[in-house]
């Protein structure tokens, strides 16, 4: 397994995903580093049943979850999100910031599916495999997450 290729190919996407998951740039960088360390340590465990992207993304999600449950790491988190976390390139920086914040504020099970589907560009089957859920569950979560975001964003953008 060529870990340098994996870092180059998936590093930026993992950083964006971890940033939205953790809401803190320094923590996101730490999470990506830890993800690659775990991948290096456990590369012999990779059996090729899933794609490398699926495998490395699952590791990153687990790292983020671990960081959020660690009291010391939670204490470090701030609420600022950089403007570079835009899901849509044609949006203003203010719109990107608002959308990123709303995604980051979603409950974890909804935030995960949004990040994996839209930011990591994974299919429902891959997301189901990463999260250990059925495709039907993932499809339902994605629909509910979209509905929550739509509702939240409608409130924000209708006020303007």
* DSSP-assigned letters across all residues of the chain: --HHHHHHHHHHHHHHHHHHHHS-HHHHHHHHHHHHHHHHHTGGG--SSS-HHHHHHHHHHHHHHHHHH-HHHHHH--S---TT--SSTTS-HHHHHHHHHHHHTS-HHHHHHHIIIIIS---HHHHHHHHT--HHHHHHHHHHHHHHHHHHHHHHHH--
pLDDT digits (tens, 9 = 90+) for 63-107: 998 998 876 655 554 444 444 443 455 667 777 778 888 888 899
Q: What is the mean pLDDT of residues 142-152?
A: 92
- Choose the most confident range, by mean pLDDT, from 18-22, 35-39, 50-54, 119-123: 35-39
The rounded distance, in Å, linking the Cα atoms of 130 and 110 is: 14
Nearest Cα to 115, choosing from 22, 4, 6?
22
Domains, the chain: 3-158 (1.10.10.10)
pTM over 0.85? The answer is: no
pLDDT digits (tens, 9 = 90+) for 17-46: 999 888 889 999 999 999 999 999 988 888
């Amino acid at each position: 397994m060529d870990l340098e290729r994996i870092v180059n190919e998936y590093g930026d996407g993992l950083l964006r995903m971890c940033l939205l998951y953790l809401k803190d740039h320094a923590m996101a960088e730490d999470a990506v580093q830890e993800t690659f360390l775990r991948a290096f340590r456990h590369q012999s465990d990779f059996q090729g049943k899933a794609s490398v992207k699926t495998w490395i993304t699952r590791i990153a999600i687990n790292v983020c979850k671990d960081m959020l449950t660690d009291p010391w790491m939670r204490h470090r988190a701030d609420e600022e999100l950089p403007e570079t976390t835009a899901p849509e390139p044609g949006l203003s920086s203010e719109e990107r910031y608002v959308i990123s914040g709303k995604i980051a504020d979603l409950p974890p099970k909804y935030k995960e599916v949004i990040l994996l589907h839209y930011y990591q560009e994974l299919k429902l089957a891959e997301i189901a495999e990463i999260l250990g859920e059925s495709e039907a569950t993932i499809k339902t979560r994605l629909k509910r997450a979209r509905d929550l975001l739509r509702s939240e964003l409608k409130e924000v953008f209708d006020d303007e």
